[in-house]
Structures are given as structure tokens and as C-alpha cells.
Amino acid sequence: MEEPVILVTGATGTTGGELVRLLAEAGAPVRALVRSPDKAASIQRLGVETAVGDFEQPDTLDAAMAGCDHLFLLSPPSPHQPEQERNAIDAAKRVGVGHVVALSVLGSSPDASVAFGRWHGEIDRHLAESGLPHTLLLPSGFMQNFLASAQYVADQGILYGMTGETRVSYIDTRDVAAVAAQVLTRPGHQGKAYALTGPEALSGDEVAERLSAATGHQVGSVDVAADTFGQALAAAGLPGWLVERLIELNIMMADGHAAGVTDEVATLTGRQPRTFAQFAAEHRAIFGGQQ
């Protein structure tokens, strides 16, 4: 009997790309969804099958999911995310996918105070109403988000933020992918929701201390007003709608809503999640560290 195929959406992104790599290394039958054939080359080098499909074109999703029993559901954040992922859920139901693992966010709810939480809350509700067996992954703030501020850290030795002394339990996206790989390939996870965090909750000053240790130059943490923080994000090339949503998210985190630490990563993968110190050391060059 053939193993059930796993379709990974968001396969060219940070989390989805790592998940595809992990599944391929484990020898799991995996198919990666790409929006166009020119996006497929890096994935095909792993020996992974690709399928062309677009969340905005639901008819392409049925063909991409044909023969798949598991679906990893992830799309880039955007105001269209709820509609796009509803399209994918509906396609999964039509073709008879047996298990959906959805990347949501900690605190997701249709009534959440921040847009990211509301968007995912709508998606989570639609998934529940679909009747499809599913698992929710609910990560806290991503360590990789700090890469958008790396140029300021490298050039000025300053980490700009809005969370002050409030601690946040940042998680490395690679640990999220490792959890997803386990949930997709082992039984017993249907109907579960896993809150995923790093091993510690850190303040802005503590993040800066770890960046200082990793790079070998002093990094300070400076709390700024929302408009100043937004200007820095815009200067890093982020679109206006995303700048607004990230400001909103930082205001929420400053209230302590992302300070909790769980042991789900260790329980599900058998190893401790990466620390921020490890993340900073691995990315020291982009933060201005000497080679």
C-alpha cells in the first residue's frame, strides 16, 4: 500500500520550504504547491514533485490536491488570506483530503484585536465547519521577523521596537516546520491545537544582548513610537498594509499576550526548540557580525 501523499502549500516560503526539505529528507511522499513553473526549480532539486496551483483560482487547487491525503495549509499574510485559504479548504473537502494541518497564530479568533488574529480566526472557523479532520499550529512571534531590522542593527547598532520590557516567546520558523513534519507523518494529532513557542520569553533589551554577543558589537534596544517604528519598516521595503498590521501586532505583544512559554515543540519533536542566541549566531553576518 502506497504512503499517503502530503501537499505542502507555501512551499517556497520560510516555513513551507523548510517543511518540504524535512519531509524529503525523511523520505515522505511530498508534493509542493507552486504558483508558477519557474518557482519549482529549487524544490525539484530536492527530488520533490511539484504542482502548479493558485489560491485565487480554486479550480487549479483540485488538480494539485488529487491523490493527497494530507494538506499543510499556509499562505502569505495579506488582507486576502481568509478568502484564499477558504478556497483551499473547500478544494480539500471536494477531493477528499483526509487531514489538514493549518498554520494559524497564537490568539487566533474571529474577534481578535489584531488583524492577523482575526484573519486566522476566520480560517480556523471555516476549517472546523468544513468537517475535515484537522490540526492547528499556533506559533508565537517568529525570530525570522527580526531579519527585517537587520540593516539597522548592522549599521547603527540599534534594535528598534515597541514592546519595551514586555517579554515575547519568539520561535524559530524551522521549529514550526519540524513540528508540522511530525504532525503530518504520525497519527494521533487530529482535533488538536498546539501552541508553539521558543524556550524563553525575551524583552527587547534581552534580544539586543543576544545580538551583541553573536555579532561582537554592541547592540542597544530602543523603544519608539508607532509612527517611527512604521517608518523604519517602510524603509526596509515592507508594504503599507503590512506596516500597519505589524504595528498593531507589536501593540498587542506589548500588552503581554505573547509572553507564555510552552513545551509543545520538545514534546512533539523530541528536542528543545532553538534559542534566540542560536538564531542570532547563525545569522550573525546579516546583523553585522564579522565573518
What pLDDT band is residue 2 in, cutting at 50, 70 and 90?
A: low
DSSP string covering the chain: -PPPEEEESSTTSHHHHHHHHHHHHTT--EEEEESSGGG-HHHHTTT-EEEE-BTTBHHHHHHHHTTEEEEEE----STTHHHHHHHHHHHHHHHT-SEEEEE--TT--TT-SSHHHHHHHHHHHHHHHHT--EEEEEE--BGGGGGGGHHHHHHHSEEEES-TT--B--B-HHHHHHHHHHHHHSSS-TT-EEEE--SS-B-HHHHHHHHHHHHSS--EEEE--HHHHHHHHHHTT--HHHHHHHHHHHHHHHTTTT-----HHHHHHSSPPPPHHHHHHHTTTTTT---
Q: What is the mean pLDDT of the chain?
A: 93
Model pLDDT, residue 291: 61
**pLDDT of 137 higher than 50:** yes
Ordered by start, the domain boundaries in the chain are: 5-139, 143-168+199-260+271-282
CATH among 3.20.20.80, 3.40.50.720, 3.40.710.10, 3.50.50.60 for 5-139 = 3.40.50.720
The CATH number assigned to the domain with range 143-168+199-260+271-282 reads: 3.90.25.10
Percent pLDDT > 90 in the chain is 75
Q: What is the tens place of the pLDDT at every residue in 19-41?
A: 999 999 999 999 999 988 887 78
